[in-house]
């Protein structure tokens, strides 16, 4: 689905009755900071008309960042991004048209970004594991466990560190999960910064999931 051109038509001022004819470079007269001609949804719930977040994908569909709805609409309007997913339960209104409420947009041009590493810290391992023991699911007295014990060559690495409650950690001792007869509920992995962005926002939109967990 590509709404870039359509968005330009909807919100450009060319073509209105009595409006002066616009030059062919139709986007150049739009100052990037100028507010979009949008009015709040009629069935307002008291929240800001453009409240919410939009997942921004790079041209190769890799998740890049999260931005505001207003910013995303601006990118689509300026033809710098295309709409990939829109929310079915919401719409934006201009004076003459209805515009889909963006949920995921994709930049038309590839942006080269330095790889952003998530720091390997106790706090980030617990966040990755949902603040649950990977062995029993307990949410209290959490510690870090080396799956392959450090004394046996297990590295300090995302793939070898999990959150475990103190009782499970003590029971496991200096053994591997197999030796201790304990099962990991999931295989430890290196998280992406996008996964943590999702946490920060506090909501995980269904439409984002294919792009956040594609790998
Ligand atoms: Zn446990």
198 alpha carbon to ligand 1 midpoint, in Å? 26
> Is the same domain home to 131 and 89?
no
What does the DSSP 8-state code read for residue 39?
B
> Is the same domain home to 129 and 59?
no
More confident of the two residues 49 and 10: 49
Domain count of the fold of the chain: 2
172 alpha carbon to ligand 1 midpoint, in Å? 10
171 alpha carbon to ligand 1 midpoint, in Å? 9
Residues across the chain: 215
Boundary (domain end) residue, out of 63, 81, 107: 107
What range does the domain containing 156 cover? 122-180
Output the six-digit token pair for 101.
């409420």
> Is the same domain home to 73 and 97?
yes
Q: What's the pLDDT tens digit per position in 71-80?
A: 999 999 999 9
State the chain's mean pLDDT as an integer: 76
- Find where tokens 């931005």 sit: 67
Is residue 214 pLDDT above 60, yes or no? no
94 alpha carbon to ligand 1 midpoint, in Å? 54
> Is the same domain home to 21 and 72?
yes
> What confidence category does residue 193 fall into, taking pLDDT thresholds of 50, 70 and 90?
confident
Whole-number pLDDT of residue 112? 85
70 alpha carbon to ligand 1 midpoint, in Å? 44
Strands of the sheet with 81-93, listed across from one edge: 63-68, 53-57, 98-107, 81-93
- The structure's pTM equals 0.51
> Is the same domain home to 89 and 143?
no
Q: Is residue 149 part of a domain?
A: yes
Q: What's the pLDDT tens digit per position in 128-138?
A: 898 999 999 99
Q: Is residue 88 part of a domain?
A: yes
Q: Is residue 193 part of a domain?
A: no
């Amino acid at each position: 689905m590509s709404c870039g051109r359509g968005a330009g038509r909807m919100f450009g001022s060319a073509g209105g009755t009595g409006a002066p004819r616009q030059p062919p470079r139709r986007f150049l007269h739009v100052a990037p900071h100028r507010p979009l001609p949008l009015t709040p949804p009629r069935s307002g719930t008291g929240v800001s008309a453009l409240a919410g977040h939009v997942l921004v994908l790079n041209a190769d569909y890799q998740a890049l960042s999260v931005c505001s709805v207003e910013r995303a609409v601006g990118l689509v309007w300026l033809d710098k991004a295309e709409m990939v997913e829109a929310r079915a339960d919401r719409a934006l209104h201009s004076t003459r048209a209805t515009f889909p409420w963006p949920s995921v947009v994709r930049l038309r041009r590839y942006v080269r970004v330095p790889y952003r590493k998530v720091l390997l810290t106790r706090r980030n391992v617990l966040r990755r594991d949902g603040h649950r023991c990977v062995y029993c699911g307990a949410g209290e007295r959490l510690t870090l466990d080396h799956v392959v014990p450090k004394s046996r060559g297990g590295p300090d690495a995302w793939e070898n560190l999990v959150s475990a409650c103190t009782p499970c950690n003590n029971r496991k001792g200096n053994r591997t999960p197999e030796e201790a007869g304990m099962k990991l509920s999931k295989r430890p992995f290196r998280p992406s910064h996008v996964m943590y962005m999702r946490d920060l926002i506090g909501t995980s939109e269904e439409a984002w999931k294919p792009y956040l967990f594609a790998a």
